């Protein structure tokens, strides 16, 4: 999915800082084969799923321990050189890009489960473990980790972007599910935040300050998250609707009635067509809600009955149920492959993704006007949404060689964000700010809050070496 | 409950800063009758439910608007004079005490509900509204605000101390339930953090940095919190147990099985005796769990049956049910009056309260050893606990004129905190650090994390005027 290198219009402003040869020498001496300067390795670490093309980092450190991370940061700090943590590279917003130069610290080898505390429903992991690997590691305990952003992202990356996904409507986001951290600071010191206690009033909430800070305040080296008992019963269902509005009105009522639905996802008819073409799923090509219910058998049935009743009021068709694990996997494959199905529907394209999230009462207003604008633009797009949370994503499919398409996509995104902010929402529900939403964030948060963020950043990282140039300018 | 003024041994170290007459003049000019320097008013604002006695603030501003708070802070900032926000004065840890002098900003007149968004399950309030008043204001919408720390605290105070209470086991704490804030900074500027969107990845989580910062980083002037639909069915029950251990083992199993119990409180037999004496409730004087179940009628029954089964395995007696609102009120009155019942059981006493919280698997270890130590000490005490969260409180009842009793109580607290930290817990589950737990926090968080907190504080409040001397030293 790499774009050709000649599309300067896609590049963010670069402020490349010097990476002295003395630093590379010192890194090679300390890390030996764990330090790579090979172009192919650097390029792989200088790119994510965003539309941006920038020069790669000067070296990649494959950290295998907290000490490795601390030592790499200390060496970089001596030379005031940027360090950028790297998990699996699934960021959508340019978080990983070395726009000020520097070195990449790849934590993917730090992928161990350090301790499972099944009785307390907690697990402590290294940041490089992916969510699927974590779930494999805990399932024999009858437990699972619900946060599911689609991609098989690393837990470190998910914490750094405050990720969420399809289960957040019931289980919350990384904000609610990270209990404690070990963090390497800008000086290369190792600190701990939080404990395994379920709640605490012990001073500033450094854990939640780090969660969502996108690598700009510290590098996470251990992460303790909550687990949940695997539900006794799980049922998933598809319901199709005559209009997006009918689907959205159904969702709003489900949420307002407090039904503890575990997943509640919208896919519009056009995206279902792309998914069918890509994954041969044979789904009915209509707007649809994909839902999942967790609980005791009685509670799952009670929830499903309530939702069916509401859906039928809005013209929803009868549910198609998926009760076996295989059927459920097929159904959620449709949801998770939407992005890739869309990308492949237009060869060579990239997606400009949106990520607004609004209060549920504003969801119809926000979504329907934006659909009308997208339809009018003529750009192909996909539309999926964690609508139970008021969060949805357009992906406008653009030819990266065509500046006009890029401009149209960004205008659509602009209008959508502006609308979401007017409706008391946010420009980013779960992807983070990165490079792509810095202007949006300023508009959302206001200069006062941005000043406060900047003041914190400058205090904790005075030489601005931790993933500089992301979230806001300074 | 004010102690006589001659107990110097109870006083924390004072570093009184000058409050110039020019500032008092300026405040009186700006605020007229909203500014009081009357001794009785100042003394009322210079004291909370903690054991500390310190000189009162030099003036009290009765703020009626955000602008009032901002102007008061700006005037104080010109003279580098401390400002201490005041809600209803129910802090247990000395949060409100003017240990560096300064002025109190009383926000109790800022007690309005600004907007109820019933469809989104959110409400925006001023900080001075109490939790009971908030619940009165939203109940006609079929909604409630679950956080219940016992005292009818202000929402501002609850947010500032990251409070929780009896419902946290199901609904979370202020950490999970505050969505957005308006905050007056140390410069007297007004910023907003967060939005009404249910989730967000938009930059640093300033909302959660402010929640629990105990007035040291800013003064909250608007608070948006989550609401919940009033449960269709509520049942409360008492179950008594032959030992504290049997009660605790029951709780541990209930939590580990994922039963969504709404309240799960321990009261030990001695405390039940105090409550009976105080409130004439005629409760069976045994160790007991007070529980509440929320949900659909079927789900409440299902939960209750599971818990009864577990309790009976550990020798718990048959449940005594309270299904009418009046019966439930009687039962929760027992829990909420425990503190006052205990205080009144020993005339003239004060309580040294503990607030440890540990992972649920460690609860029995932590609690039982501490009970044995308390029994051996000979000091009377009360013991209550939000045991579903692993959080419990001893209140050692001391004669404030008796240094020996105070010493014994602090030693017990010390041992308890040390034990909780070894068991991966926290020194404070919900009361905050204030003046009382600064040493404990340093031990819990470590010098590195305290340095990070201090760095943030110094960056956001360089003249150290926002509630100085609390949480950590600087």
Q: Supply the pLDDT for residue A379.
A: 97
Residues of B in contact with A208 (CB under 8 A): 175, 205, 208-209
Our CA-based measurement puts residue B44 at a distance from the nearest CA of chain A, in whole angstroms, of 25
- Lowest average pLDDT, out of A387-396, B1-10, B190-199, B237-246, goes to B1-10
B414 DSSP assignment: H
| C-alpha to C-alpha distance for A167 and A290, rounded to whole angstroms | 12
Average pLDDT over residues B55-71: 98
Residue A11: band (very low, low, confident or very high) from pLDDT cuts 50, 70, 90: low
Q: What would the two tokens of residue A125 be? A: 């992991």
- CB B162 to CB A201 under 8 A? yes
ipTM: 0.95
Residue in chain A lying closest to B122 (CA): A359
Residue A450: band (very low, low, confident or very high) from pLDDT cuts 50, 70, 90: very high
Helix B66-78 and helix B21-31, axial crossing angle in degrees, nearest 10: 160
- The 3-state DSSP class for residue B352 equals strand
Residue B10: band (very low, low, confident or very high) from pLDDT cuts 50, 70, 90: low
Query: How many Cβ atoms sit within 10 Å of the Cβ of residue B391?
Result: 30
Does residue B6 have a pLDDT over 70?
no
- CB B198 to CB A360 under 8 A? yes
Topology of the domain covering B8-106: 3.30.43
- CB A359 to CB B117 under 8 A? yes
Topology of the domain covering B113-229: 3.30.465
Question: Does B119 touch chain A if contact means CB atoms closer than 8 Å?
Answer: yes
- CB A204 to CB B191 under 8 A? no
- The 3-state DSSP class for residue A153 equals coil
Q: pLDDT for B173-222, tens place per residue?
A: 999 999 999 999 999 999 999 999 999 999 999 999 999 999 999 999 99
Q: pLDDT for A19-75, tens place per residue?
A: 999 999 999 999 999 999 999 999 999 998 887 889 999 999 999 999 999 999 999
Supply angle C-alpha B279, B280, B283, rounded to 5.
105
Residue A9: band (very low, low, confident or very high) from pLDDT cuts 50, 70, 90: very low
Nearest CB partner across the interface for B197, out of A185, A426, A451: A426
Residues of B in contact with A192 (CB under 8 A): 445-446, 448-449
Question: Does B297 touch chain A if contact means CB atoms closer than 8 Å?
Answer: no
Q: pLDDT for B433-465, tens place per residue?
A: 999 899 999 999 999 999 999 999 999 999 999
- CB B446 to CB A357 under 8 A? no
Question: Does A461 touch chain B if contact means CB atoms closer than 8 Å?
Answer: no
Q: pLDDT for B304-326, tens place per residue?
A: 999 999 999 999 998 888 888 88
Q: pLDDT for B266-302, tens place per residue?
A: 999 999 999 999 988 888 999 999 999 999 898 899 9
Q: Supply the pLDDT for residue B38.
A: 98
- CB A204 to CB B209 under 8 A? yes
Question: Does B212 touch chain A if contact means CB atoms closer than 8 Å?
Answer: yes
State percent of chain B over pLDDT 90: 86
Topology of the domain covering B233-422: Vanillyl-alcohol Oxidase; Chain A, domain 3 (3.40.462)
Alpha helices in B280-389 (DSSP H): 297-313, 325-336, 338-345, 363-377
Nearest CB partner across the interface for B446, out of A121, A191, A296: A191
State the DSSP H helix or E strand holding residue A41, giving kind and residue range, or none if neither: helix A39-45
Query: How many Cβ atoms sit within 10 Å of the Cβ of residue A232?
Result: 14
- HSE, CB side, 13 Å, CA atoms: give it for residue B269: 13
Q: Same fold for the domain at B113-229 and the one at B233-422? A: no
Q: Supply the pLDDT for residue B7.
A: 37
- b/e map of B259-292 (b: 16 or more CB within 10 Å)? bbbbbbbbbbbbbbbbbbebbeeebeebbbbbbb
Q: What would the two tokens of residue A249 be? A: 């009105």
Residue B120: band (very low, low, confident or very high) from pLDDT cuts 50, 70, 90: very high
CB < 8 Å from B in window 401-430 of A: 421, 424-430
The residue extents of the domains of chain A are 8-106, 113-229, 233-422
Residue in chain B lying closest to A360 (CA): B120
Question: Does B302 touch chain A if contact means CB atoms closer than 8 Å?
Answer: yes
Q: Supply the pLDDT for residue A172.
A: 97
State percent of chain B over pLDDT 70: 97
Residues of A in contact with B428 (CB under 8 A): 200-202
- CB B120 to CB A359 under 8 A? yes
| C-alpha to C-alpha distance for A145 and A148, rounded to whole angstroms | 8
Average pLDDT over residues A234-238: 94
- CB B189 to CB A359 under 8 A? no
Mean pLDDT across chain A? 94
| C-alpha to C-alpha distance for B76 and B84, rounded to whole angstroms | 11
- Lowest average pLDDT, out of A23-27, A49-53, A110-114, A335-339, goes to A49-53
Query: How many Cβ atoms sit within 10 Å of the Cβ of residue A325?
Result: 10
């Amino acid at each position: 999915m790499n774009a050709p290198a000649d599309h300067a219009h896609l590049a963010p402003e670069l402020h490349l800082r010097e990476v002295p040869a003395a630093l590379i020498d010192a890194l090679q001496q300390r890390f030996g084969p764990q330090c790579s300067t090979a172009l192919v390795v650097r390029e792989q670490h200088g790119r994510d799923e965003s539309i941006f093309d920038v020069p790669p980092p000067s070296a990649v450190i494959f950290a295998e321990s907290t000490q490795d991370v601390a030592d790499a940061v200390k060496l970089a700090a001596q030379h005031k050189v940027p360090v950028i943590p790297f998990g699996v590279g699934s960021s959508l917003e340019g978080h990983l890009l070395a726009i000020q130069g520097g070195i990449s610290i790849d934590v993917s080898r730090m992928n161990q489960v350090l301790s499972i505390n099944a009785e307390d429903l907690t697990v402590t992991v290294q940041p490089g473990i992916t969510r699927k690997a974590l779930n494999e590691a805990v399932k024999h305990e009858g437990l699972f980790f619900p946060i599911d952003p689609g991609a098989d992202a690393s837990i470190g990356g998910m914490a750094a972007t405050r990720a969420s996904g399809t289960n957040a409507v019931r289980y919350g986001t990384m904000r609610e599910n990270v209990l404690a951290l070990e963090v390497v600071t800008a000086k290369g010191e190792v600190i701990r935040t939080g404990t395994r206690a379920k709640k605490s009033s012990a001073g500033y909430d450094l854990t939640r300050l780090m969660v969502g800070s996108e690598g700009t305040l510290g590098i996470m080296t251990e992460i303790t998250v909550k687990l949940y008992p695997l539900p006794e019963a799980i049922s998933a269902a598809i319901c199709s609707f005559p209009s997006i509005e009918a689907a959205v009105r159904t969702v709003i009522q489900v949420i307002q009635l407090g039904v503890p639905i575990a997943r509640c996802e919208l896919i519009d008819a056009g995206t279902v067509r792309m998914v069918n073409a890509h994954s041969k799923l044979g789904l009915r090509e209509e707007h649809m809600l994909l839902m999942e219910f967790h609980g005791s058998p009685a509670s799952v049935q009670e929830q499903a009955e309530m939702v069916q009743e509401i859906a039928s009021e809005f013209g929803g068709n009868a549910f198609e149920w998926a009760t076996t694990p295989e059927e459920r996997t097929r159904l959620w494959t449709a949801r998770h492959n939407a992005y890739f199905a869309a990308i492949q529907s237009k060869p060579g394209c990239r997606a400009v993704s949106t990520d607004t999230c609004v209060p549920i009462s504003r969801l119809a207003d926000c979504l329907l006007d934006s659909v009308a604008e997208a339809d009018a633009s003529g750009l192909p797009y996909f539309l999926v949404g964690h609508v139970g949370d008021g969060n949805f994503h357009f992906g406008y499919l653009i030819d990266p060689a065509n500046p006009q398409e890029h401009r149209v996509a960004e205008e659509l995104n602009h209008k959508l964000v502006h609308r979401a902010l007017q409706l008391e929402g946010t420009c980013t529900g779960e992807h983070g700010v990165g490079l792509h939403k810095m202007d949006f964030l300023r508009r959302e948060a206001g200069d006062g809050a941005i000043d406060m963020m900047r003041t914190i950043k400058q205090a904790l990282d005075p030489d601005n070496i931790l993933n500089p140039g992301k979230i806001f300018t300074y």
